[in-house]
Amino acid sequence: MKYDLRDIVSVGLATIFLCFAAFNNKFPIVTGDSGLYMDMGFSKNVHQGHSFIYGLFLAHSSWHLTLWLPILTQGFFVAFLLSILFKFYFDNSNWRVYFIGFVLFLVFATTASYTISTVSPAIFIITGLLSLSILYLPIRLLSYQQYFIFFLLILGMCIDIVLLIEATVFIITVFCLKGLRKSKVQITPNTLRGLVVSLVVVWIITYSANYLIEFTNNSHQDQLIMVDSFSDYQTKLFDSFGRLQTVGFKSDHEVTPKSAIYKWYHDQFREYVISSQSWGELSITILNYSTLILVVVGVLGYLVIRNRENIEMTHFLFILLPIFLVCHPFCSAIFKLSPTISIGSVIWIMLLPIYIKFIPVINKVIHVNRSIV
Amino acid sequence: MKPVLFNILIFILCIITLCSLGIYNGFPFVFNSDTAVYLEEAYYKVLHPERPAIYGLFLQIFSLDYSLWLVILTQAMMITIIIFLAFKHLGSRKVQEFRWYFLTFILIVSLGMGASFNVSRLMADVFTPVCVISVGILLFGRNVKLIDRILLILFTLIGVSMHNTNMYVCIGSIFIVWLINEYSSITNRLVPFKKFTLTLTIVFNGLLFSVTIHYLNWQEFKTPRGGAVFLFANMVEMGIVDQYLKEHCEKNDYKICEYKKDIPNNFLWADNSPMNKTGGWVANEQEYKEILIDILKHPKYLFELAYKSILLTGKQFFMYDIGGVFIPSERIDETVRRFFPDDFSSYMSSKQHQDTSDFQFINYTQNVIVGVSFLFIFIVLVQGYKTTNEIRLLCLYILIALLVNAFICGTVSGAFFRYQNRLVWLLPLPLFIHLSNLFYFNKSKREKSTPSSTHRLNLISYEK
């Protein structure tokens, strides 16, 4: 799947559009927990119930300079994954139009841009899910694209333990179906192998996290940065199994976004203070309603409209995405994990299969109208 | 009904629609103390350093010293004329062919975007789209008759002289479009060089027009000189001044050094701002200019300024919500009461004064329309969708005007919603002109008649 200059321009534009909410707010949007993530990334303190990996992601992708870089990176991840899917579904030069159309639709009619522009790990559910979908679908990827998507999947699973559990169940199911030689399973053996290896790696990391954290707490922290990089989610999961004890976590809920920005991004403090959010002028009530209405109407429309093109592949996304999203809070509850990621903030991804299914229908309508004219 | 009468009716409907938010508010919107400053400049004959006084004069003349409603009616009329001219010279030439698209465009940008808000507000911002579109038609319009040309030149002169930034926006846009026209395949040198030089001359004459008006009314042959102080204030918000003062206060004896540890963000207007503590705008202008020049001489700060300017351009580009509708200050109350006593009761009971205006829904619809317009521009410019040369040039020009506006306002004054809101409603214009052309193209095809000579070029472009 090669990208020419126009494709790259399109992905670049999509990245900028996806960060619309941050630009509109004058600063990346922060939540109550954003300060903790920033603090974790730099001070290497682990805060209960918050993904340490995301803290590291913030610290490294921002280059300790500006929070705009992590936001643009988040936007790029989503734009890149969406572009691969659109290139796959619409194998002609028009894919760019559909792709940019979908991005603009997400940005201006849903809360997508707000999720992407927020200093929060929520967006990694989306990147994880999209990566998994891309790896499952029969898409011819270049090797660097494949590695990058594996990287995003591993990152997503490390940040969100529930995604790890869901992905494990999914891959085991696919593995079993493949073993039973079900014709509908489209994944290639190589990719399946890669997925299994990724899972094993993340599970090993997860399993060893507690021991390693214990080890670091008895040693000098700065010497073993990698050890600190494991999320306490992982350890917490084992806590729920009653096998291991969580030790040495610092709980400091006094790290507010304001204090963290002041401490870690001091040059940006003025910028933060004049943002719309700081002035209490940020409101997404209408966008929340709009997202909800669009998803409900879209799902109903999807079920009503009969369209044979790409049907199996859109069905895959249409079924996989809600299952993952619905299972997410249940998994959190079963394993007593802190629900730091709100599903409401990522529900807009449901519009992807709906949009893909609707495009041929709209094209057909336009074509019929043209021929009448 | 006779076509002429019908067209006049459409025209009146457009004017009323453009004033709709003013009607909804119960009085034209006012902005902070700026509206008061403009009125004071006109009525007290005093010049304020931060604002050009011509808009004050405009308020005085077109209110007929009677009512401020007349001002927004004039503004609406002006916008209607300029959009009409755009449809006429950049799309189909016959009124019958585009009038419904023209009306729909005005309805959509008035009720679903910020056009009506800008028209209904007593601020010079409404003149930015006027001069931007005038320049656009002067550059790309075909067969522009003498009367229309005179109107466009007049609009450009007035528009450029009304606000500090308008001239820079026009010059920047013309320059970039010229560069693209010369060196890129998007336009293939469609616009002759002569047109660029002529239009640029008209824009520069706007400056001359401005200083002449200032001289005739206030006996001062100069332009407003607030630019340096605005830029300084913005550099405070960028954090560059903090850094500079930290490193240079030991060597230099600036007044502002005394306050270097607690400079507030709202540098220009905050009561505790060092500027207001040390004599105000005029008293500090020279010192701030010196600091600015010194900052620009240091590559370290210059790099920082370039980076922050790019960031602010990005922010300003996407900051176009309708906002900044605050309860008017006592200064405006006093000005309206004094100069427009008949309007005072409706002003006091307006939604803005009662703080009950809400623009959340219109901001949402504006976003959706902006999304559709961006998609159209993307399809035309990146995807290479076949359309007329005028539409392609207009798409490019409006996008560039928005970017230049965002860059200039963001860098000089800071990112504020009103700066981009005044221009963003022009985004759907190419789409609507294209639709009117398409309608004509389809109609001609259906009738299988030979198109008139003026339309032939359009048809050829589409058929290609």
Q: Is the pLDDT of residue A88 over 60?
A: yes
Interface of B with A in 425-444 (CB under 8 A): 442
User: Could you tell me if B360 lies within 8 Å of chain A, comparing CB atoms?
Assistant: yes
* Domain around A323: 5-372
pLDDT at A82 (0 to 100): 94
Contact A96 B237 (CB under 8 A): no
User: Could you tell me if A24 lies within 8 Å of chain B, comparing CB atoms?
Assistant: yes
pLDDT at A233 (0 to 100): 47
- Provide the whole-model pTM: 0.86
Q: How far is A342 from chain B (nearest CA, A)?
A: 23
pLDDT at A4 (0 to 100): 86
Give the mean model confidence (pLDDT) for residues A333-358. Answer: 77
User: Could you tell me if A274 lies within 8 Å of chain B, comparing CB atoms?
Assistant: yes
Contact A96 B415 (CB under 8 A): no
* Beta-carbon-side half-sphere exposure of residue B192 (alpha carbons within 13 Å): 5
Contact A68 B311 (CB under 8 A): yes
**Max alpha carbon distance in chain B (Å)?**
81
User: Could you tell me if B142 lies within 8 Å of chain A, comparing CB atoms?
Assistant: no
Contact A108 B367 (CB under 8 A): yes
- Which residues lie below 8 Å from residue B447, measured CB to CB, with a gap of 6+? none
AA identity, residue A182: K
Q: Is the pLDDT of residue A114 over 70?
A: yes
Residue of A17, A23, A273 with shortest CB distance to B315: A23
Higher pLDDT pick, A251 / A34: A34
Q: Are B120 and B19 in contact (CB under 8 A)?
A: yes
Q: Is the pLDDT of residue A311 over 70?
A: no
User: Could you tell me if A29 lies within 8 Å of chain B, comparing CB atoms?
Assistant: no
**Max alpha carbon distance in chain A (Å)?**
78
pLDDT at B48 (0 to 100): 77
Q: Which residue do the tokens 């559910």 mark? A: A125
What is the C-alpha to C-alpha distance for residues B196 and B393, in angstroms, rounded to an integer? 13
The DSSP secondary structure of B303-352, one letter per residue, reads: HHHHHHHHHHHHHHHH---S---PPPPHHHHHHHHHH-TTTHHHHHTSHH
Mutate to test the interface with A, among B234, B318, B446 (most CBs of A within 10 A): B318
pLDDT at B207 (0 to 100): 86
Residue of A68, A100, A281 with shortest CB distance to B378: A100
Q: Could you give phi then psi for residue A296, rounded to 5 degrees?
A: -65, -50
What is the C-alpha to C-alpha distance for residues B221 and B65, in angstroms, rounded to an integer? 26
Contacts of B265 in chain A (CB under 8 A): 270, 273-274
- Which residues lie below 8 Å from residue B338, measured CB to CB, with a gap of 6+? B43
| Encoded tokens for A191 | 């990719």
pLDDT at A243 (0 to 100): 36
SS3 annotation, chain A? CCCCHHHHHHHHHHHHHHCHHHHHHCCCECCCCHHHHHHHHHHCCCCCCCCHHHHHHHHHHCCCCCCHHHHHHHHHHHHHHHHHHHHHHCCCCCHHHHHHHHHHHHHHHCCHHHHHCECCCCHHHHHHHHHHHHHHCCCCCCHHHHHHHHHHHHHHHHHCHHHHHHHHHHHHHHHHHHHCCCCCCCCCHHHHHHHHHHHHHHHHHHHHHHHHHHHHHHCCHHHCHHHHCCCHHHHHHHHHHCCCCCCCCCCCCCCCHHHHHHHHCHHHHHHHHCCCCCCCCCCCHHHHHHHHHHHHHHHHHHHHCCCCCCHHHHHHHHHHHHHHHHHHHHHHHHCCCCCCCCHHHCHHHHHHHHHHHHHHHHHHHHHHHHHHC
Interface of B with A in 251-270 (CB under 8 A): 265
Closest by CA position to A100, among listed A176, A173, A18, A21: A18
pLDDT in tens, A160-170: 878 888 888 88
Q: Are B352 and B22 in contact (CB under 8 A)?
A: no
| Encoded tokens for A256 | 């507010």
Residue of A20, A97, A271 with shortest CB distance to B383: A97
User: Could you tell me if B310 lies within 8 Å of chain A, comparing CB atoms?
Assistant: no
Total of domains in chain A: 1
Contact B374 A105 (CB under 8 A): no
Mutate to test the interface with A, among B364, B420, B444 (most CBs of A within 10 A): B364
Contacts of A287 in chain B (CB under 8 A): 364
Q: Is the pLDDT of residue A247 over 50?
A: no
Residue of A23, A97, A273 with shortest CB distance to B265: A273
Residue of B321, B382, B446 with shortest CB distance to A10: B382
Positions in chain B short of pLDDT 70 = 1, 49-50, 222-227, 448-464
pLDDT in tens, A26-81: 999 998 888 888 888 887 777 666 777 888 889 889 988 899 999 999 999 999 99
| Chain B residue at shortest CA distance from A270 | B237
Contact A23 B374 (CB under 8 A): no
Contact A100 B375 (CB under 8 A): yes
* Beta-carbon-side half-sphere exposure of residue B304 (alpha carbons within 13 Å): 21
Contact A23 B238 (CB under 8 A): no
User: Could you tell me if A288 lies within 8 Å of chain B, comparing CB atoms?
Assistant: no
Confidence label for A221 from pLDDT (cuts 50, 70 and 90): very low
User: Could you tell me if B321 lies within 8 Å of chain A, comparing CB atoms?
Assistant: yes
Contacts of A26 in chain B (CB under 8 A): 315, 319, 415
Q: Are B23 and B9 in contact (CB under 8 A)?
A: no
Closest by CA position to B364, among listed B429, B320, B413: B320
What is the C-alpha to C-alpha distance for residues A35 and A30, in angstroms, rounded to an integer? 8
User: Could you tell me if A13 lies within 8 Å of chain B, comparing CB atoms?
Assistant: yes
Q: How far is A151 from chain B (nearest CA, A)?
A: 29
Q: Could you give phi then psi for residue B345, rounded to 5 degrees?
A: -65, -40
Give me the interface pTM, i.e. the ipTM.
0.85
Contact A24 B319 (CB under 8 A): yes
Closest by CA position to B398, among listed B362, B432, B365: B432
* Beta-carbon-side half-sphere exposure of residue B117 (alpha carbons within 13 Å): 29
Averaged pLDDT score across all residues of chain A: 78
Mutate to test the interface with B, among A113, A267, A272, A291 (most CBs of B within 10 A): A267
Give the mean model confidence (pLDDT) for residues A113-142. Answer: 88
Q: How far is A24 from chain B (nearest CA, A)?
A: 5
Size of interface A-B (CB pairs under 8 A): 73
AA identity, residue A56: L
Contacts of B318 in chain A (CB under 8 A): 20, 23-24
Give the mean model confidence (pLDDT) for residues A175-181. Answer: 73
pLDDT at B1 (0 to 100): 67
Residue of B315, B378, B442 with shortest CB distance to A26: B315
pLDDT at A339 (0 to 100): 55
pLDDT at B284 (0 to 100): 79
Closest by CA position to A255, among listed A84, A6, A40: A40
Confidence label for A10 from pLDDT (cuts 50, 70 and 90): very high
| Chain B residue at shortest CA distance from A109 | B368
Dihedral angle over CA of B18, B23, B24, B29, nearest 10: 80
pLDDT at A333 (0 to 100): 73
